[in-house]
């Protein structure tokens, strides 16, 4: 989260040094765009700092706490991604393009698989899938979950490295936020 938080700070500084406020965001027709900017900036910072602190300490050794922490981390990243989409739309004028298979999309896919509707995930798949994470699912470097696929009538036990995915996403989100920053610099010096 270090890279995207750094660019987020640069965006904040650019906004306060530029003519963006009076010349664009504070105009009545752009009131919602300013609300998007303001809200997104807080959400990006709050989720980024919280996830970074949590990654430093890892999941609790108490399985009940760790279970809730996992869902919280995945939801925080989902909220952050939505905020980045919103600020990109408000400043650049279009949503960012996120590549399939990127860490950004992989995190979102894992969240939807493991935490979206684990008891019955049927949107976008041929047959329902049911995902289960045990109470001792692992740590950032090695998280395990089980998926039952009604189509194959089999369970799989998959493992992923959440730390690696988040670190990759951090760089990708930084690139998206750099587009926001460069757009602000060119539009509102």
The pTM of the whole model exceeds 0.95: no
Reading the block at residue 37, the tokens are 């900017």
Confidence of residue 159 (pLDDT cuts 50, 70, 90): very high
Given a cut of 90, whether residue 150 has pLDDT beyond it is no
Higher pLDDT, 19 or 12: 12
Q: Answer with the residue of higher pLDDT: 152 or 175.
A: 175
Looking up tokens 């041929």, which residue turns up? 126
* Inter-residue contact 85 to 96 (CB < 8 Å): yes
Q: Tell me the pLDDT tens digit for each residue of 103-133.
A: 999 999 888 877 666 666 665 556 677 888 8
**Per-residue DSSP letters for 141-180?**
TEEEEEEEETTTTEEEEEEE-HHHHHHHHHHHHHHHHHHH
What whole-number distance in Å separates Cα of residue 148 and Cα of residue 158?
A: 11
**Interatomic CA distance for residues 126 and 123, integer angstroms:** 8
pLDDT recorded at residue 45: 98
* Helix, strand, or coil (residue 125): coil
């Amino acid at each position: 989260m270090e890279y995207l938080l750094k660019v987020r700070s640069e965006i904040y500084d650019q906004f306060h040094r530029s003519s963006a406020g009076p010349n664009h965001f504070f105009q009545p027709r752009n009131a919602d765009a300013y609300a998007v900017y303001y809200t997104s900036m807080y959400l990006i910072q709050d989720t980024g700092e919280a996830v970074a602190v949590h990654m430093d300490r890892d999941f609790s050794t108490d399985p009940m706490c760790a279970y809730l922490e996992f869902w919280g981390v995945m939801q925080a990243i989902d909220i952050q991604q939505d905020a980045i989409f919103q600020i990109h739309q408000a400043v650049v004028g279009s949503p960012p393009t996120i590549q399939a298979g990127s860490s950004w999309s992989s995190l979102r896919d894992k969240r939807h698989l493991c935490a979206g509707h684990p008891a019955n995930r049927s949107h976008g798949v041929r047959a329902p899938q049911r995902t289960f994470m045990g109470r001792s699912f692992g740590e950032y470097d090695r998280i395990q979950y089980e998926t039952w696929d009604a189509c194959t009538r089999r369970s799989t036990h998959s493992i992923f490295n959440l730390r690696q995915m988040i670190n990759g996403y951090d760089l990708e989100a930084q690139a998206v936020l750099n587009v926001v920053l460069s757009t602000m610099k060119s539009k509102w010096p």
